[in-house]
Amino acid sequence: GQSLEQPSEVTAVEGAIVQINCTYQTSGFYGLSWYQQHDGGAPTFLSYNALDGLEETGRFSSFLSRSDSYGYLLLQELQMKDSASYFCAALRGNQLIWGAGTKLIIKP
């Protein structure tokens, strides 16, 4: 089958670093995307990893290990505005297979 697993909820403190993990089981896997969704808002694209390794975009970084079928999103210097749900999505052919999302709760 095809599935992605990510924690349902993660809690962190403002200013800290948090890692959101995503494991996948998907045949024909091309790469892993990450999206952010604020409550009541639309998902917005954050990053995409096609190759193993770390991709950095400002405070956010995303990592992929194809051999471990695993990826993560790393958020640094957390700000209250980072409170949102984060989705990983695997690219399979011309379709994204979505995880259930991780709700990130940030405490002051």
Partner 1 sequence: DSGVTQTPKHLITATGQRVTLRCSPRSGDLSVYWYQQSLDQGLQFLIQYYNGEERAKGNILERFSAQQFPDLHSELNLSSLELGDSALYFCASSASPVYEQFFGPGTRLTVL
CB-hemisphere CA count at 13 Å for 51?
3
Distance CA 85, CA 74 (A): 14
Q: Which C-beta is closer to partner 1: that of 94 or that of 108? A: 94
Any contact of residue 24 with partner 1 (CB under 8 A)? no
Sign of the dihedral defined by the CA atoms of residues 107, 73, 44, 91, in that order: negative
Amino acid in position 46 = L
Q: Please, which residues bridge with residue 18 across strands?
A: 75
Q: Rule CB under 8 A: which of 34-93 touch partner 1?
A: 41-45, 48, 87, 89, 91, 93
Residue closer to partner 1 (CB basis): 6 or 106: 6
| Residue choice 25, 28, 95, 107 for contact with partner 1 (CB under 8 A) | 95
Residue 7, interface with partner 1 (CB under 8 A)? no
Residue with tokens 């079928």: 69
Count of positions on this chain that bind partner 1 (CB under 8 A): 21
By the criterion CB under 8 A, which residues form the site for partner 1? 30-31, 33, 41-45, 48, 87, 89, 91, 93-101
